[in-house]
Chains A and B, each alone.
Chain A
Amino acid sequence: DQQVKQNSPSLSVQEGRISILNCDYTNSMFDYFLWYKKYPAEGPTFLISISSIKDKNEDGRFTVFLNKSAKHLSLHIVPSQPGDSAVYFCAAENQGGKLIFGQGTELSVKP
């Protein structure tokens, strides 16, 4: 039973536009959320995170929004660049200290 889900397996966006990647979770005890980015044949790399006491965290072109009542978070990339094309994983940390990952969304940014 997956506690973290990314329901869109893929997303295609035009260069310069906004990319919005979504993630839903079921466990209200999660207190920390992270986004990882993965290129083919490489391991995931950390992108941005947010604590459950916040509803927004911004880092350059990347912003993560957290809606605790809806148990939903999203990653906004603006403006999107071709180099952003990758698989994006959402992850949540439970109180045992484990990261629970979603299944990823493949973003394709077209020039």
Chain B
Amino acid sequence: DTAVSQTPKYLVTQMGNDKSIKCEQNLGHDTMYWYKQDSKKFLKIMFSYNNKELIINETVPNRFSPKSPDKAHLNLHINSLELGDSAVYFCASSQVGSRMQETQYFGPGTRLLVL
């Protein structure tokens, strides 16, 4: 059983398009995250939700909008895709919220290429 799953695994699209990446966790965790791994390989947090409530919102263009229909799902919608959005996006979850000190469980990543 996959603990944190993401779809799709690969996404190739044209500039200007709108796309969504879905994430689901079956661990019963309260908190979910989106990370972006850029070309320099740094993993940077974008958003965090705790029980469907936004708790971390980094300096991310407002073309990126997370949506959490329930605590097991955190989807990422990206409008008007740009070349610089090409990256690997990882979803993660953990049991505890803002002061974690709990391990985060990561999905396999979604490789987005914007042409």
Contact = CB atoms under 8 A, between A and B. Distances in A.
Given A96-B56, A101-B42, A46 B101 contact: no
Nearest to A5: B42
Interface residues of A, number: 23
A21 to B, nearest CB: 14
Contacts of B4: 43
Interface of B: 4, 35, 40-45, 48, 55-56, 90, 92, 97-101, 103-109
Given A97-B98, A97-B100, 10 more contacts: A2-B42, A43-B105, A43-B106, A43-B107, A44-B106, A45-B106, A46-B103, A46-B105, A89-B43, A99-B104
Contacts of B98: 96-97
A3 B4 CA distance: 27
B104 A41 contact: no
A49 B40 CA distance: 24
Interface in A24-42: 32, 34, 36, 41-42
Contact of B103 (A34, A96, A97): A34
B106 A32 contact: no
A63 interface: no
B46 to A, nearest CB: 11
B60 to A, nearest CB: 13
